[in-house]
Amino acid sequence: MEEYNNIINGEKVQSGSTFGVVNPANGDVFAICQSANVEMVDQAVAAARAAFFEWSKTSQEERKAKIHAIGDALEANMADLMALVTAETGKPMSGLNGVGSGMEVGGSIAWTHYTAELDLPVDIIQEDDIASIQVFRKPLGVVASITPWNWPLMIAIWHVMPALRAGNTVVIKPSPLTPLATIRFVEMVSEILPPGVLNVITGDASIGEALSKHSDVNKIVFTGSTQTGRNIMQAASANLKRLTLELGGNDAGIVLDDVNVKEVAPKLFAAAFHNNGQTCACLKRLYVHESIYEDLCEELARLAKTVVIGDGMRDGVELGPLQNKAQLAIVTDLVADAKANGGRFIAGGHPIEGDGFFFAPTIIADLEDGHRLVDEEQFGPVVPVIKYSDVSTIIGRANQNESGLGGSIWSSNVTRAAALAQQLECGTAWVNDHGAIQPDAPFGGVKQSGFGVEFGSYGLEEYTSLQTIKITKN
Ligand code: NAD
C-alpha cells in the first residue's frame, strides 16, 4: 500500500505514527499516511519562517513565473491527481453537471495561472512638492492553511497560491480524511519552490490547534465548519493572527412564480446535488412559490430517481458516495428528523446498502422553517423544498438563517430577481444560477459563514498588510 509523508523544508519527514485513508466508495483503506506530531508543527513553521526572508524579497516577476510553473506541473500530473481525488473523496471523475475530480484538478490549474498574473500595485496617495505618500502591500509572513475534505486540492490551491503570490510562506494541514492529493501537490511543488516555502503536515484537530495558536504563524486561512472556525479564532487571538474564515453555508434558493419549471429544474437539481451536496455553496434550502410548487417537486423527484450513482471511478457515474461515515450519519439523522416532522418524501430517503457511504438522492416536500433539515446545513444529497405564497416576506424568511454564504433568485424577469438578490444577506447572490464561482470574482461569507474573501485582487490583498511611506519634502 502506498505511503504518504509530511513534507517539511522540501524533505519527507516521518513521525513513526500512521493512519489509513479510506476509499468512501467501498470503505477500504487504500493508502497509509504519516501523521505529524506537535514537534513537527514547530519544525514546519520554523522552516516556513526561515524561507520567508528570501521568498518575500523575490521580484513579482519571479513569483509569477514560479506559480505558472506550478500550474504547468499540475497540468502534467492531471490524470494522477484526478485519480487520487476520486479515490479519497469519492467524487466521480466527471460527475453531475461536469462537477467531479476533472473539474477539481482543472479548476486548480486555472486558478493557479490566474492568481500568478495578479498584481499588487503601489497606491500613490500624494505626489507633489510637499510630500510623497505611497501605500505598499507587504506579505504577512508565515501563513497556515487548514482545509476540509470536500474539495481538498481545489481549496488547497485557493489558499496557497495567493499566499505565495503575495510573498508569504505556507504550512498546509489538509483534512486527515483527504490528505493525499494535497501531499502529491506539495511533492511536485518541492521541485519548483525553494525548500521551506511550502510545507505540508497531516493530522487531526490537534495539529490544526497547534498551528492556530503557534506564536510564529501570522495568518490562518481556514475552510471548514463554523464551530471549528470559532475555535481557530479563539486560538489565533494570542498573537493577533490575521484570519480568513470560509465556513459552513445553508444557502437558500428562491424560485419565483414566473419560471419555466422544466427549464429551471435541472439547474436547481445540479446546484443542490453536485458533489452529493458536499459543497459549501450548494443550494441547501429551496423555497418555491405555491403556484408551481407541485410541478417543480415532481420534476426534481424525477431527476433524483434517474441520476446515476456509483463508484466515481466508473464511467458515466454522476454522484458518488458521501465522503465519510460520520457525514453519512449526520445526513441520516437529519432525514429521520424530517420524517418525524411530517416531511413528504418524494424521492430517496435512505442510505444505499453496501460497504460504501452511499445515500439515495432525496427530495422532501412540505417542510417549514424551524425544521432541522431547513435550519441546519445537511452537507449531503438531500434537499428540503419549502412552499411559500408571499414574495414580500420570503427574503426575510431566507435571511433568518444564521448562515450567509450564498443565495439565489430564480425568475424569468431578471430585473425583478436582481432587486430581490440584493436583499439577501449573503456573500454572493446569484440570479438564475447557484454556486458558480470564478477566479476573478470575490467569494466569501457573512454572518456565521465567516469573513474575508478569496479570489481575484480582493482575495490576494488578504495575504498582505498595508505599509504607508510618507516622505516629507518641505
Ligand atoms: P471541519 O471544521 O471539521 O474540519 C476542517 C479542517 O479543520 C480539518 O483539516 C480539521 O482537521 C481541522 N480542524 C478541526 N478542528 C480543529 C481545531 N480545533 N483547530 C484547528 N483545526 C481544526 O470541517 P469539515 O467537516 O472538514 O468540512 C465540512 C465543513 O466545511 C462544512 O460545514 C462546509 O460547509 C464547510 N466548507 C466551507 C467552505 C467555504 O468556502 N465556505 C468550503 C468547503 C467546506
User: Atom 3, ligand 1: which residue's CA is nearest?
Assistant: 225
Confidence of residue 403 (pLDDT cuts 50, 70, 90): very high
- Locate the ligand 1 atom nearest the alpha carbon of residue 204 and give its number: 11
Alpha helices in 122-192 (DSSP H): 152-165, 180-189
Confidence of residue 334 (pLDDT cuts 50, 70, 90): very high
Q: Which of the residues 33, 88, 280, 377 is marked catalytic? A: 280
Q: Which of 241, 267, 242 is closest to 255 using CA atoms?
A: 267
How remote is the CA of residue 143 from the centroid of ligand 1, in Å?
17
CB 278 within 8 A of CB 327: yes
Output the pTM of the full model: 0.98
Query: What cell numbers appear for 335 in the block?
Result: 432525514
Average of pLDDT values for 387-411? 97
Taking residue 177's Cβ as centre, other Cβ atoms within 10 Å add up to: 21
**Identity of the residue numbered 198:** L
How remote is the CA of residue 156 from the centroid of ligand 1, in Å?
13
User: Atom 33, ligand 1: which residue's CA is nearest?
Assistant: 248
Average of pLDDT values for 128-149? 98
- CA distances 200 to 9, 34, 113, 146, Å, are 9, 11, 21, 10
297 in active site = no
- CA distances 73 to 152, 256, 281, Å, are 18, 46, 28
**Identity of the residue numbered 455:** F
Enumerate long-range contacts of 385-392, CB under 8 Å, 24 or more apart.
Answer: 385/286, 385/288, 385/293, 385/296, 385/297, 385/300, 386/285, 386/286, 386/287, 386/288, 387/288, 387/289, 387/290, 387/293, 388/287, 388/288, 388/289, 388/290, 389/289, 389/290, 391/256, 391/257, 391/289, 391/420
Q: Residues with beta carbon inside 6 Å of ligand 1?
A: 146-150, 173, 175-176, 204-205, 208-209, 212, 223-225, 228, 231-232, 246-249, 280, 377, 379, 405, 445, 449
Tens of pLDDT, residues 139-152: 999 999 999 999 99
From CA 464, how far away is CA 101, in angstroms rounded? 31
Cell 458518488, residue located: 320
Which residue intervals of the chain bear CATH 3.40.605.10?
3-247+447-472
How remote is the CA of residue 54 from the centroid of ligand 1, in Å?
32
How remote is the CA of residue 456 from the centroid of ligand 1, in Å?
23
From CA 398, how far away is CA 428, in angstroms rounded? 14
Tens of pLDDT, residues 219-250: 999 999 999 999 999 999 999 999 999 999 99
With the most atoms of ligand 1 within 8 angstroms of its CB, the residue from 104, 145, 146, 449 to mutate is 146
- What pLDDT is stored for residue 256 in this prediction? 98
Q: Which of the residues 88, 104, 246, 462 is marked catalytic? A: 246
- What pLDDT is stored for residue 388 in this prediction? 98
**Identity of the residue numbered 225:** S
- Locate the ligand 1 atom nearest the alpha carbon of residue 235 and give its number: 19
End-to-end CA distance of the chain: 71
280 in active site = yes
| Burial (CB count within 10 angstroms: exposed 0-12, middle 13-18, buried 19+), residue 207 | buried
User: Atom 26, ligand 1: which residue's CA is nearest?
Assistant: 148
Q: Which of 207, 210, 189 is closest to 198 using CA atoms?
A: 189
Tens of pLDDT, residues 179-208: 999 999 999 999 999 999 999 999 999 999
How remote is the CA of residue 223 from the centroid of ligand 1, in Å?
5
Rg of the chain on CA atoms, in Å: 23
Q: How many residues does the chain have?
A: 474
User: Atom 16, ligand 1: which residue's CA is nearest?
Assistant: 205
Confidence of residue 394 (pLDDT cuts 50, 70, 90): very high
The H or E element spanning position 264 is helix 261-273
The CATH architecture that domain 3-247+447-472 belongs to is: 3-Layer(aba) Sandwich (3.40)
Does residue 462 come out as left (phi exceeding 0), alpha (psi in the -120 to 50 range) or beta? alpha
CB 345 within 8 A of CB 387: no
| Burial (CB count within 10 angstroms: exposed 0-12, middle 13-18, buried 19+), residue 47 | buried
Would the pLDDT of 13 be above 90? yes
CATH of 251-431, picked from 3.40.309.10, 3.20.20.70, 3.60.15.10, 3.50.50.60, is: 3.40.309.10
Which residue intervals of the chain bear CATH 3.40.309.10?
251-431
How remote is the CA of residue 75 from the centroid of ligand 1, in Å?
27
With the most atoms of ligand 1 within 8 angstroms of its CB, the residue from 154, 173, 221, 228 to mutate is 228
- What pLDDT is stored for residue 391 in this prediction? 94
Would the pLDDT of 474 be above 90? no
The H or E element spanning position 328 is helix 325-340
